[in-house]
Amino acid sequence: MHFESPIKRRHSRQIMVGNVPVGGGAPISVQSMTNTETCDVDATVAQIRAIADAGADIVRVSIPSMDAAEAFKHIRQQVEVPLVADIHFDYKIALKVAEYGVDCLRINPGNIGNKDRVRAVVDCARDKNIPIRIGVNAGSLEKDLQKKYGEPTPDALVESAFRQIEYFDELDFQEFKLSLKASDIFMTVEAYRKIASQIDNPLHLGITEAGGLRSGTVKSSIGLGLLLMDGIGDTIRVSLAADPVQEIKVGWDMLRSLKLRSRGINFIACPSCSRQNFDVIKTMNELEQRLDDVRVSMDVAVIGCIVNGPGEAKEVDLGLTGGTPNNLVYLDGKPASKLKNDELVEELERMIREKAAAKEQEQANLIAKA
């Protein structure tokens, strides 16, 4: 389909997280967080690499102790993707990882401590040209705000954020991004909408503690989808109680669905019914597993019968329409070949990979001519 996205993104200033621009019209970056024991350097490095291979632009690592900070030094040396250090309670940990090449520091206003400690972190970040993420979370608001509001609210999140923003203004430090997260969709969305109209710093989106793979994907898609359709958001993290690689896949699926960014195959597939001429569900499951490594952006339609099949197939790079006695394959909207059911998956994989390789070559040629 060639319908353009109507989303107009919010204007924001730009910061750099390593070599990844965040805000200022840059592509919306996708990130996740490791869930290994950080002191297990080999396991953490392996997971960071897996997350990056899945398409992460940025990876966050929890640094709960000085031992973890020392481990971070060795982790940083072995991976190329930009790393964010997640810091709570002990500001000195932030100072230590700054020495070891961290690309961004995440601090929590609810537990990082008094202004002197924040100043120390900001001074260090300024000296080493490291941006900061102010990460406000409904579950760890300052005690006085909990007392004032009685419970977490959008206004409480915004007030917490502005305390740090105003202090950063006093320190003349603008190299920061901001998040205001809650596990409740409505609270999160309202908080981001309130803050988005009052500042121009880049915003990191997320529904915190969203749940397991299925429920968390649904909650995150609704919450982040509402904000992204408003044009709000410069980087996203889908929080799932699941393999972090799944967070990256879901994040890319969101951006692809909203036509904000594309990577890999956008499958269009029918849910199937008794009219299907081949097993659509089985075919789709196999294709998704086999073609997970394809990075070039392309549209593929897999439709089980002739009701909608030809129409969908004419709008995509490669389309399959179920038919009798054979199924029909379209390339670039035109009928190209026929396939029997027993050869369906093998041949489709071959044809999709050939089409992906051709598209990659076309892109390389355009870049070479530019």
CA 235 from chain centre, in angstroms, equals 7
The mean-pLDDT minimum among 86-95, 106-115, 355-364 falls in 106-115
Burial class (CB in 10 A: 0-12, 13-18, 19+), 166: exposed
Residue 309 tokens, joined? 């099949």
Q: What predicted TM-score, i.e. pTM, was given to this entire model? A: 0.93
pLDDT surpassing 90 at residue 370: no
pLDDT band at 363 (very low <50, low <70, confident <90, very high): confident
pLDDT at 71: 98
pLDDT at 2: 64
Give the count of alpha carbons within 13 A of 268, CB side only. 21
pLDDT at 42: 98
Nearest CA to 361 among 298, 316, 296? 296
pLDDT surpassing 90 at residue 366: no
Map out the domains of the chain as residue ranges: 15-258, 265-369
What is the domain class of 15-258 according to CATH?
alpha beta
pLDDT band at 108 (very low <50, low <70, confident <90, very high): confident
270 annotated as ligand-binding = yes
Q: Does a cis peptide bond (omega within 30 degrees of 0) precede residue 152? A: no
pLDDT surpassing 70 at residue 8: yes
Q: In the predicted model, what is the mean pLDDT of the chain?
A: 95
pLDDT band at 166 (very low <50, low <70, confident <90, very high): very high
312 annotated as ligand-binding = yes
pLDDT band at 368 (very low <50, low <70, confident <90, very high): confident
Q: Which residue has the higher pLDDT, 221 or 1?
A: 221
pLDDT at 255: 97
Residues 69 and 50: their CA atoms lie apart, in Å, by: 21
Q: In the chain, what percentage of residues exceed pLDDT 90?
A: 93
pLDDT band at 193 (very low <50, low <70, confident <90, very high): very high
The mean-pLDDT minimum among 22-26, 112-116, 189-193, 239-243 falls in 112-116
CATH topology of domain 265-369: Sulfite Reductase Hemoprotein; domain 1 (3.30.413)
The mean-pLDDT minimum among 1-10, 58-67, 203-212, 255-264 falls in 1-10
Structural contact between residues 116 and 93, judged by C-beta atoms closer than 8 angstroms: no
pLDDT band at 263 (very low <50, low <70, confident <90, very high): very high
**3-state SS class at 20:** strand
pLDDT at 109: 73
Residues 138 and 208: their CA atoms lie apart, in Å, by: 9
pLDDT band at 369 (very low <50, low <70, confident <90, very high): confident
* Rounded (5°) CA angle 81-83-89: 170
104 annotated as ligand-binding = no
pLDDT band at 278 (very low <50, low <70, confident <90, very high): very high
247 annotated as ligand-binding = no
